A and B are shown apart, each in its own frame.
Chain A
Amino acid sequence: EVQLVESGGGLVQPGRSLRLSCTTSGFTFGDFAMSWVRQAPGKGLEWVGFIRSKTYGGTTEYAASVKGRFTISRDDSKSIAYLQMNSLKTEDTAVYYCNRGPATTWYSYYWGQGTLVTVSS
């Protein structure tokens, strides 16, 4: 059974950093891209970014709103994806979901349950 479990969320002050983890099981982690999507309270879904598999260079793509502040990485030996968030802003407050993908035709079937990040002084 495929499972994705996010952790690391919490309350953090503006300007500080936080690292989220997405611990996975049930599939060959290294074969897949991994993404992060966020949802601000009462708002819609927003792509944060994703990291390709090593087969495709392990390169990353980011939304303009987080580029330069957020970094996605992966540890294929542990089957974990990370989202390092620096210089956090109040507008980064959201539930952060990791998901397996996107697939080549840009959809994601497996999602984690999400972890809440609150940026507030």
Chain B
Amino acid sequence: QSALTQPASVSGSPGQSITISCTGTSSDIGGYNYVSWYQQHPGKAPKLMIYDVSNRPSGVSNRFSGSKSGNTASLTISGLQAEDEADYYCSSYTSSSTLGVFGGGTKLTVL
């Protein structure tokens, strides 16, 4: 069982917006602004989409945004495109371990 909880799947139509949640505890998401999000297409390496809760690396579309409230972080994708169909993983620093923690992953389907 993953330390961070994500919905197994979400879906949306092209042009719509979707939000993926990632729930942890006060030892990880709630206690630190060290949440990151990764996109992974089948057979490919993870790609960093958001770091430090809401920062976008250079080259990542501004359709991707991150936020946090309490022990829950969220990734919002606006203006859904077919290429956004992928698995998404949240990650956080945790004071409970010497390693970070990942969420179980969310499969995004673009209808």
Residues of A within 8 A of B (CB): 37, 44-47, 49-50, 61-63, 97, 102-103, 105-109, 111-114
Contacts and interface: CB of A to CB of B under 8 A. Distances in A.
Interface residues of B, number: 26
Given A44-B105, A109-B57, A102 B45 contact: no
A105 B47 CA distance: 17
A45 B38 contact: yes
Given A45-B46, A111-B46, A105 B99 contact: no
Given A44-B105, A107-B51, A108-B48, A63 B2 contact: no
B23 interface: no
Contact of B2 (A44, A49, A107, A112): A44
B98 interface: yes
15 contacts: A46-B102, A61-B98, A63-B99, A105-B34, A105-B51, A105-B52, A106-B36, A106-B92, A107-B34, A107-B36, A107-B48, A107-B51, A109-B57, A112-B45, A114-B45
